[in-house]
């Protein structure tokens, strides 16, 4: 039987198996399609009770105090920025080494992203460089956990407290990660998770805003639905509701269909997380002593969610060509955001990021990988490039 990531091809009149290992592979539980069918037949396909159930289950699994489901992670970041008091003309210190979904919300808030340098061996924002970027216009710090590996949150919190700045964590890749004994999502004022297609837990597309304060939670619930308090509004005799709208809101709500997918997938979160940990461990053991490869740091006070397995390699293009020639996909996953015109162009004061972008590459890590696949990948790498 062929591996799930293999294919059959014909060449020169001969049929042979060619292994194909993709970089990403969405995971949808077998139960999800049945749950979605129930929602479609129920008539209530928009935001409803299933979204509330998904929020509660997410809180249970991740140990976060308050959670608001939204349509994508950018929406959760935009909500966090608005609720933390970031206004037009303000500055937000952030990392350029992330998906554009992290930093676009800053522009949507008519604020300015100020890029701090990163750490070469983690891909995360450098706390020491944050301090240098703070001005009187700075109103928040936005930190991304690259590949699911937690940032130096203690140092970032120290700086934030010193300057009275809220912290927003982009934990798109970090569901299940822990920092100094605490789950990511239970540490900072705002934490934003992603349920995009290739994340550990997907809703096809979706996000979650987590907060530590009930007042912020209540405001987030209103503002994701056009500023309407859907809990306090009262039905009237003309088939509508009586309510007031006293603040700006957005159409950021999640649908019951998306939530049903998420609920089904959450039931398998522990096995998904454990499999990723197992794969990452095998990679580290196999690659730790190879010439031309530098593994990322792995500090004992935190654990990664292992959304990505990123390494630094010598002669990156040759490395990628060698793997692709044997059917193994690789990717840099994201370009540094300051290469894009909308963010103001390439900065010249981010030396560690400059180095990072020349050598980083990620290799496949997803739920469809078999032990055989992982062994094959490491064997090909060991053969050199």
Indicate whether 9 pLDDT > 90. no
Task: Write b or e for each residue in 317-328: b if 16 or more Cβ atoms lie within 10 A of its Cβ, otherwise e.
Answer: eebbebbeebbb
* CA nearest to 384, candidates 331, 294, 321: 321
The whole-number average pLDDT for the span 49-74 is 97
How far is it, in rounded angstroms, from Cα 25 to Cα 21?
10
Task: State pLDDT tens for residues 23-61.
Answer: 999 999 999 999 999 999 998 898 889 999 999 999 999
Kindly report the number of other CB atoms within 10 A of residue 44's CB atom.
13
- Under a CB-based contact definition with an 8 Å cutoff, are residues 285 and 265 in contact? no
How far is it, in rounded angstroms, from Cα 307 to Cα 324?
21
How far is it, in rounded angstroms, from Cα 353 to Cα 18?
37
- Under a CB-based contact definition with an 8 Å cutoff, are residues 133 and 116 in contact? yes
Backbone torsions φ then ψ of 95, nearest 5 degrees: -105, 145
* CA nearest to 253, candidates 42, 44, 48, 39: 48
Indicate whether 323 pLDDT > 80. yes
DSSP assignment string, 106-118:
HHHTT-EEEEEPB
> Which pLDDT score is estimated for 44?
85
> Which pLDDT score is estimated for 237?
61
How far is it, in rounded angstroms, from Cα 194 to Cα 71?
9
Q: What is the DSSP letter of 341?
A: G
Indicate whether 270 pLDDT > 90. yes
Model confidence at 2, in pLDDT bands (50, 70, 90)?
very low
Indicate whether 14 pLDDT > 70. no
* CA nearest to 266, candidates 222, 195, 201, 354: 201
Task: State pLDDT tens for residues 180-219.
Answer: 999 999 999 999 999 999 999 999 999 999 999 999 999 9
Task: Write b or e for each residue in 237-268: b if 16 or more Cβ atoms lie within 10 A of its Cβ, otherwise e.
Answer: eeeeeeeeeeeebbebbbbbbbbbbbbbbbeb
> Which pLDDT score is estimated for 247?
82
> Which pLDDT score is estimated for 19?
84
Task: State pLDDT tens for residues 335-385.
Answer: 999 999 999 999 999 999 999 999 999 999 999 999 999 999 999 999 999
**Total number of residues shown for the chain:** 385
Model confidence at 240, in pLDDT bands (50, 70, 90)?
low
> Which pLDDT score is estimated for 225?
85
Query: What domains are there in the chain, each with its CATH number?
Result: 6-25+269-382 (3.90.1150.10), 30-266 (3.40.640.10)
Model confidence at 227, in pLDDT bands (50, 70, 90)?
confident
Q: Quote the radius of gyration of the chain (alpha carbons, Å).
A: 22
Chain-wide mean pLDDT for the chain? 93
Sign of the CA dihedral with 204 first, then 7, 329, and 292 last = positive
Indicate whether 6 pLDDT > 60. no
> Which pLDDT score is estimated for 209?
99
pTM of the model: 0.93
CA separation, residue 156 to residues 130, 202, 278, 336 (Å)? 8, 29, 30, 21
Indicate whether 113 pLDDT > 70. yes
Kindly report the number of other CB atoms within 10 A of residue 291's CB atom.
6
> Which pLDDT score is estimated for 230?
65
Backbone torsions φ then ψ of 153, nearest 5 degrees: -65, -35
> Which pLDDT score is estimated for 15?
43
> Which pLDDT score is estimated for 235?
74
Indicate whether 115 pLDDT > 80. yes
pLDDT exceeding 70 applies to what percent of the chain? 91
């Amino acid at each position: 039987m062929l591996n799930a990531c293999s294919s059959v091809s014909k060449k020169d009149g001969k049929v042979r198996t060619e292994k194909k290992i993709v970089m990403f592979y969405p995971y949808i539980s077998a139960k999800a399609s049945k749950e979605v069918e129930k929602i479609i037949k129920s008539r209530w396909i928009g935001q409803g009770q299933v979204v509330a159930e998904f929020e509660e289950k997410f809180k249970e699994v991740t140990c976060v105090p308050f959670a608001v489901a939204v349509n994508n992670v950018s929406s959760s970041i935009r909500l966090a920025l608005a609720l933390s008091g970031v206004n037009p003309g303000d500055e937000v210190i952030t990392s350029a080494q992330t998906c554009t979904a992290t930093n676009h919300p800053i522009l949507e808030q008519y604020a300015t992203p100020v890029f701090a340098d990163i750490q070469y061996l983690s891909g995360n924002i450098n706390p020491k460089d944050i301090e240098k970027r703070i001005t009187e216009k700075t109103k928040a710090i936005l930190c991304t956990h690259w590949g699911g590996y937690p940032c130096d949150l203690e140092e970032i919190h120290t700086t934030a407290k010193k300057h009275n700045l809220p912290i927003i964590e982009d934990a798109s890749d970090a569901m299940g990660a822990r920092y100094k004994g605490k789950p990511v999502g239970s540490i900072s004022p705002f934490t934003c998770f992603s349920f995009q297609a290739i994340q550990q837990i997907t809703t096809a597309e979706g996000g979650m805003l987590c907060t530590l304060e009930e007042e912020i939670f209540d405001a987030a619930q209103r503002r994701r639905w056009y500023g309407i308090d859907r809990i306090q509004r009262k039905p009237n005799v003309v088939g509508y509701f009586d309510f007031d709208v006293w603040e700006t809101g957005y159409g950021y709500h999640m649908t019951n269909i998306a939530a049903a997918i998420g609920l089904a997938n959450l039931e398998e979160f522990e096995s998904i997380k454990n499999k990723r940990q197992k794969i990452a461990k095998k990679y580290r053991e196999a690659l730790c002593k190879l010439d031309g490869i530098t593994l990322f740091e792995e500090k004992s006070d935190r654990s990664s969610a292992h959304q990505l397995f990123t390494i630094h390699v010598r002669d990156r293009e040759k490395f990628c060509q060698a793997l692709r020639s044997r059917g193994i996909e690789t990717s840099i996953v994201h370009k540094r955001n300051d290469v894009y015109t909308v963010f103001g162009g390439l900065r010249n004061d981010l030396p560690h990021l400059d180095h990072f972008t020349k050598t980083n590459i990620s290799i496949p890590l997803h739920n469809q990988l078999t032990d055989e696949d992982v062994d094959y990948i490491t064997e090909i790498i060991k053969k050199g490039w």
